[in-house]
Structure 1
Amino acid sequence: MQKPASRRFVSSLFWQLLAISAIGGSLLLGPGVAKAAWSLDPVLRKAEKRYGRSSPARERLQAWQDLLQDSVQRPEQEQLQAVNREINRQVRFSEDSALWKRRDYWATPVETLAKGAGDCEDFALAKYFTLLQLGIPQEKLRITYARALELNQAHMVVTYYETQDAEPMVLDNLVDAILPASQRKDLALRYAFDARGLYAMKGGAFKRVGEAGELPTWQGLLERMRREGFSLAQLQAAPGSA
């Protein structure tokens, strides 16, 4: 059964604001980084103190660690499949208003897995950071806003580019299969961002429309990740990457 997409960001004004807003200044790994960005040991120790040794939250976080350990030497395509499948399996859909009592909240991967729930942004962010941890270069990944056409709702996914000019592959909580964007007739990709810029869909392809900047939601997310024990020194845009 398909999980519903987020019901937020429903007005066209959001897309206009997104296009002129600065997105994500210190978000991603620099180009060419092919090693794990952090150790999960301190993260899991802190999570164990917070959630307990035998809680379902701890079990999901342990499964996440197992996923990373089992997948780190796999080819990229197998990593994509494993991460997409496991996050979709471990996390159920829930609106922020029900889960966090907030209109909009971007959860850390730890928060999402501890809750075992999240909205489309949380699925995407958990997959995104997991793939970076596995060593997939940041230039192959973007966080992408779309329109879920059948649901008539805004949506967020991760897109993967095997090469710079390749058609994006979509990692999504709505569909377990990772498919080329052209085969996702239920989605209309609108905007994407990474450490180097903001992109808008124009003429059937993403075109750069702005510079990377500051987004308070991102900064709040990264600060909570630091408090959880993540070392984010490498999570910076590369000098001159804009």
Structure 2
Amino acid sequence: MPQPSPRSLASPGRRHLLAVLGSLLLAVGLGIRPSRVAANLDPSRLRESMQRLYGQGGLPVLEEWFALLDRLAGADLRTQLREVNDFFNRRIRWVDDIVAWGQEDYWATPLEALGNRQGDCEDYSIGKYVTLKQLGVPGDQLRMIYVRARIGRSQIVQAHMVLGYYETPAAEPLLLDNLVPSITPASQRTDLDPVFSFNSSGLWAGSSTQSRADPLARLSRWRNAISRMQQQGFI
């Protein structure tokens, strides 16, 4: 399904994020360790949270997510990357945060994004990140990457987020993106310029292979998303 382009760099939320790049100290662990669903999630609490927030209609997609985790447990990495990427791209409709959440910049949990069935680039990336960590992909091989994306023939520059998989810290990442359905090496995405990336261990500027920040919880939207995940049943 074609996706709308990401928000312009001129939006207030994006201006704020890029302006504070030099001072951000990131990294809060999700507390999700590799294994199967029952060992690392509380399915009952997640079902209760989904029903409370989105009614009975939200439960089928949550069960699909549980089934995805069970099906991909022990699968080869390429299959996990491909299917997780496709799962979120197909089940979430891209809309701006103000439409999806009534806020200029809101980072949704996977449960919220799936229950609402819509969100923006951060919501796709967070959902894929959490799911792959749950499947046992080491967190230090995953980074959420803010980029400047050049869109269309006019090459309008817009802010965007993708998820990167790094085989090693110095490796060229594979990019999981809601705008382009195929998973591609970063060198093939000449439309994207990295700004910064982060995971549960630190912050990297541009395409640097060395963390430039201590792992402290200083990004409020990320911290708030993690807090809501824990309340909803992500352990």
Query: Residue 218 of structure 1 aligns with which residue?
Result: 222
State the alpha-carbon separation in 2 of the partners of residues 122 and 81 from structure 1. 17
Within 2, Cα distance between the matches of 1:27 and 1:6? 28
How well do the aligned residues superpose, as a CA RMSD in angstroms? Answer: 2.0
**Secondary structure of 2:211 counterpart:** strand
Q: Where do residues 153-168 of structure 1 align in structure 2 (5 Å cutoff)?
A: 153-168=158-173
2:110 aligns to what?
Answer: 109
Report the Cα distance in structure 2 between the residues aligned to 1:102 and 1:20, rounded to whole angstroms.
24
CA contact (8 A) 1:160 1:169 kept: yes
Query: How many residues were matched structurally?
Result: 223
CA contact (8 A) 1:145 1:191 kept: yes
Change (3 A) 1:182 1:39: same
- Aligned residue identity for 2:225: L
Asked if the contact 1:10/1:153 (under 8 Å) is kept, the reply is: no
Query: Secondary structure of the residue that 2:146 maps to in structure 1?
Result: strand
SS across alignment from 1:70: helix
Task: Provide the secondary structure at the position in 2 that maps to 1:208.
Answer: coil
| TM-score, normalised with respect to structure 2 | 0.87
Q: How far apart in 2 are the matches of 1:83 and 1:121?
A: 15
The aligned amino acid for 1:181 is: A
- Distance in 2 separating the partners of 1:187 and 1:49: 39
The sequence identity of aligned pairs, in percent, is: 35
Instruction: Kindly state the Cα deviation for residue 220 of structure 1 after the two structures are TM-superposed.
Output: 1.1
Output the CA distance in 1 between the equivalents of 2:132 and 2:65: 12
Gaps of 5+ in 2: none
Aligned position for 2:35: 35
Instruction: Give 1:38's aligned amino acid.
Output: L
CA contact (8 A) 1:60 1:116 kept: no
User: Is 1:99–2:103 an aligned residue pair?
Assistant: no
